[in-house]
Amino acid sequence: MLVTVEDGVATQVRGDPDHPTTAGVLCTKVSRYTERTYHKDRVLHPMKRVGRKGEGRFERISWDEALDTIAARLREIAARDPQAILPYSYAGTMGLVQGESMAARFFHKLGASLLDRTICASAGGAGYKYTIGSRIGTDLEQFQNAKLILIWGGNPIASNLHFWMRAQEAKRRGAKLIAIDPYRSLSAEKCHQHVALLPGTDAALALGMMHVLVRDGLLDTDYIARHTIGFDRLAERVAEWTPERTAEACGIMPAEVEQLGREYGETAKRGEAVAIRVNYGLQRVRGGGMAVRNIACLPALVGAWRHAAGGIQLSSSDGFPKNNAALQRPDLLPNRPRTINMSTIGDDLLRESTPAFGTRIEAVVVYNANPVAVAPESPKVAQGFAREDLFTVVLEHFQTDTADYADIVLPATTQLEHVDVHSAYGHNYMMANNAAVAPLGEARPNTEIFRLLAARMGFADTCFNESDDEIAAQAFRRDDPRAVQVDWESLKRKGWQKLNLPAAPFAEGGFATPSGKCEFYSERMLADGLDPLPTWIPPYESVASAPDLAKKYPLAMISPPARNFLNSTFVNVQSLRDTEGEPHLDMHPSDAAERGIADGSMVRIFNDRGSFVARARVTDRARQGLVVGLSIWWKKFASDGRNANEVTSQRLTDMGNAPTFYDVLVQVAKV
Ligand SMILES: Nc1nc2c(c(=O)[nH]1)N[C@H]1C(S)=C(S)[C@@H](COP(=O)(O)OP(=O)(O)OC[C@H]3O[C@@H](n4cnc5c(=O)[nH]c(N)nc54)[C@H](O)[C@@H]3O)O[C@H]1N2
Ligand SMILES: Nc1nc2c(c(=O)[nH]1)N[C@H]1C(S)=C(S)[C@@H](COP(=O)(O)OP(=O)(O)OC[C@H]3O[C@@H](n4cnc5c(=O)[nH]c(N)nc54)[C@H](O)[C@@H]3O)O[C@H]1N2
Ligand SMILES: [Mo]
């Protein structure tokens, strides 16, 4: 991102035209970054709460008062049990410096509870790793050379624009694009074909495709023999998954399963590149890890990895030689504290001290996150943050739904105002984030805030004095061949540097699994109590798997990101919110008619966990039986002060302990 600065003020941001992935293009929301940075509602000085928790009434205080108050309170709690203190952070910035560096050091030294950061990607990550070994795959910059691209559980026009540019280029060169998604998203409608399966049934679809590949001999037997293990047992397993059985599980036609399997296998057989961009939409259900694991088996079966443009990409994150030990200093931990899963923060804030749980959570320090809006089963999250005996500190740019519950709010800098270094989870470039302008008001980088707190707590280790540049210089291991020749000063000057990775990562096998092969059969899964072979784990909540619940709540609900929001970030930027309008619920005409709901009616969406209201959009974008509430709205911008997470559940996925945001049954009624 290039920033234009005039008289110390950032006036424009644009994509770097020289950066190959970015190619001069920013997505809609990030192109408004100056509007967001100079927003009249920016939190520009420390504040303490003067109203009730959640009410949002605050009063300005000095940095000294804020830091003294926090240090005194944390010291007092830590004297009883430091594990009663919990950091809570995630995607606000995923920078390696302003994310988990000084903050992690601080909480490690303190001996606070550890946070398991599962809210986004850990189910799919686990499933992918069992099969492929690490989260690397097809290079984003190769996709334009593929002949067939399956866009599986992702809406790249909204959430992965730079991949979409490559997919468009492939299309111009004659490739076919197929979207696999219960919803006709902005991206699905622009693909040649759209397979609208029921949520949570992707694992079954992959099994059905494998059935067709094996049955019809659409296999690369040489690749299978040399670079995979467990093929015979896999073949036996998928024999059961006829197109008929698959179609029934997925709520689609048997011919769709046949066609998908054949097209994938036949294109590969012709020697052309078949590529899969599997994304996170399909892993936010009970069997989400297994779904990604099954899909990750497909490329090896047809030898798609032989091509640089073939294979699969879930994430590029394990390609980066990050030095977490230097950044986060786990060696500072006094002993091994307990771990709290961020996806069950609602339940965990409400838990009393017990031998199994340990001590009750007495303080939460939130940075880079907005749990009151984004965490599942929001009524419990809000109830937890409303506890009078909980001490809450929030580092923020804005007075978010979470900040409303804080005792102390601290003003943080934005990306334009601080130094950082980034890895990525789509492309393969290390990136430097230079500060473009001075911090606004009294805002301070997260690192500086934790540095000041460390000093007040009396933490004397030299790592607490390191500058942001000194931390950034340690982010990537320079002895690692992937980061060849990168030192911080040159990265800062150039802005970005591509990792040194092979173009076709698994053309000759070399998977990072225990066997070194693509594991159709996984001993590790068996040891972890999972089915060692691909299987389908039905959703917790669906008409087929929970018929009694479905009598009361017959509609499946998903809440994927709206194009103009980044999770809950940017929701308060007027121009972007104006484009999204207000919270909507997309529902199929027959589901609407059954309930007397007209396009534009206000509806209430509810289940046993909670309810929220939205304006109905009657549209066949949502398949029958499915409702879609594009997200993540700030609660305070909704007419009822609630959002889609009122009805989501805290149950976790089959692997990776991740949330099941899209594994939800609801009923919808006209208000
Ligand atoms: N504009 C925008 N961009 C973003 C984000 C954002 O909030 N806004 N968030 C960023 C983050 S943190 C992430 S993790 C990524 C997420 O990126 P993606 O994983 O690509 O997420 P989405 O764009 O929501 O695409 C999910 C798609 O999956 C579909 N889906 C839902 N359930 C299922 C299912 O069971 N099976 C299948 N096959 N499809 C299903 C949804 O209808 C939706 O179209 O995007 C990043 N980019
Ligand atoms: N229903 C539903 N819920 C979901 C999802 C969904 O699809 N549906 N998606 C899930 C996913 S994929 C994710 S990743 C999570 C994301 O959830 P979060 O990680 O909570 O992400 P955001 O909602 O974007 O909130 C980030 C906050 O960090 C702040 N911030 C940004 N930069 C900085 C900084 O440098 N310093 C400080 N102190 N603060 C900063 C922003 O102002 C913003 O308020 O939400 C999850 N929740
Ligand atoms: Mo995410």
**Cα gap 370→231, rounded to integer Å:** 44
Check whether 70 has a pLDDT greater than 90: yes
d(CA 371, CA 383): 12
Is the pLDDT reported for residue 563 higher than 80? yes
Q: Report the CATH architecture of 138-313+505-527.
A: 3-Layer(aba) Sandwich (3.40)
**DSSP summary character for residue 624:** T
CA of 467 to the centre of ligand 1 (A): 36
pLDDT of 335 strictly over 90? no
> How large a percentage of the chain has pLDDT more than 70?
100
Instruction: Provide the pLDDT for residue 484.
Output: 67
- Band (pLDDT 50/70/90 cuts) for residue 39 is very high
Burial string for 502-514 (b: 16+ CB within 10 Å, else e) reads eebbbbeeebebe
Ligand 2 atom nearest to CA at 629:
1
Atom 30, ligand 1: which residue's CA is nearest? 281
Rounded CA-CA distance 392/517 in Å is 47
Nearest ligand to the CA atom of 631? 2
Segment 553-563 mean pLDDT: 97
Q: Helix 122-132 to helix 288-302 angle, to the nearest 10 degrees?
A: 30
Ligand 2, atom nearest to 394 Cα:
38
For the cut 90, the answer to whether the pLDDT of residue 653 exceeds it is yes
- Classify domain 547-670 at the CATH topology level: Barwin-like endoglucanases (2.40.40)
What is the CB neighbour count within 10 angstroms for residue 241? Answer: 25
Contact 631/508 with Cβ under 8 angstroms? no
Residue ranges with strand state E in 17-80: 47-49, 58-60
User: Which residues have a Cβ under 8 Å from the Cβ of 216 and sit 6 or more positions away?
Assistant: 261, 262, 265
Ligand 3 centre to CA of 50 (Å) is 33
Output the pLDDT for position 209: 98
Please state, in angstroms and as integers, the Cα–Cα distance from residue 159 to each residue in 22, 86, 233, 291, 492, following that order. Answer: 14, 30, 37, 21, 27
pLDDT above 70 (res 442): yes
pLDDT at residue 135, as a whole number: 96
pLDDT averaged over every residue in the chain = 97
What local confidence, expressed as pLDDT, does residue 594 receive?
98
Rounded CA-CA distance 180/248 in Å is 16
Q: Could you read off the pLDDT of 145-172 as tens digits, one per residue? A: 999 999 999 999 999 999 999 999 999 9
For ligand 2, atom 39, the nearest C-alpha belongs to 368
Atom number, ligand 1, closest to the C-alpha of residue 91 = 12
> Beta strand 193-195 with 114-116: parallel, antiparallel or unpaired?
unpaired
What is the C-alpha to C-alpha distance for residues 488 and 473, in angstroms, rounded to an integer? 5
| pLDDT, mean of residues 101-126 | 98
Q: 19: CA distance to ligand 3 center in Å?
A: 23
**196 Cα to the center of ligand 1, angstroms:** 15
Mean pLDDT over 73-78 rounds to 98
**Which atom of ligand 1 lies nearest, measured to the CA of 279?**
19
User: From the CA of 37, how far away is ligand 2's center (Å)?
Assistant: 16
Rounded CA separation 249/246 (Å):
5
State what percent of residues in the chain have pLDDT above 90.
Answer: 98
Q: What are the pLDDT digits (tens) for 453-472?
A: 999 999 999 999 999 999 99
Closest CA to 214 of 292, 92, 322, 297: 297
Helix (H) or strand (E) run with residue 203 in it = helix 202-215
Give the 3-state DSSP-derived string for 601-617, with helices as H, strands as E and coil as C.
Answer: CEEEEECCCCEEEEEEE
CB 60 within 8 A of CB 47: yes
Name the residue at shortest CA distance from atom 24 of ligand 1. 560
**Strands of 271-335, DSSP E:** 274-278, 311-313
Query: Given the DSSP bridges, would you call strands 228-229 and 518-519 parallel, antiparallel or unpaired?
Result: parallel
Q: How confident is the model at residue 478 (pLDDT cuts 50, 70, 90)?
A: confident
Show Cβ contacts of residue 440 under 8 Å, excluding neighbours closer than 6 positions. Answer: 37, 38, 42, 44, 413, 414, 417
Side-chain half-sphere of 163: how many Cα atoms within 13 Å? Answer: 32
Q: Using a 6 Å CB cutoff, which residues line ligand 2? A: 90-93, 98, 119-120, 367-370, 374, 395-398, 400, 412, 446, 559-561, 566-569, 631-632, 644-645, 648, 661
Nearest-CA residue for ligand 2 atom 3 is: 374
Q: How would residue 261 be classed by pLDDT, with cut points 50, 70 and 90? A: very high
Max Cα-Cα span within the chain: 72
CA of 41 to the centre of ligand 1 (A): 28
Question: Are 440 and 10 within 8 A, CB to CB?
Answer: no
What CATH number matches the domain at 42-120+335-418+436-468, 3.90.1150.10, 3.40.50.740, 3.30.200.20, 3.40.50.720? 3.40.50.740
Question: Of all atoms in ligand 1, which is nearest to the CA of residue 285?
Answer: 35
Judged by its nearest atom, the ligand closest to the C-alpha of residue 277 is: 1
Ligand nearest to the CA of 605: 2
pLDDT of residue 485: 65
* Residue ranges per structural domain of the chain: 1-38, 42-120+335-418+436-468, 138-313+505-527, 547-670
pLDDT on residue 581: 94
Candidates 39, 397, 421, 634: which one to mutate for ligand 2, based on the most atoms within 8 Å of Cβ?
397
pLDDT at 482: 78
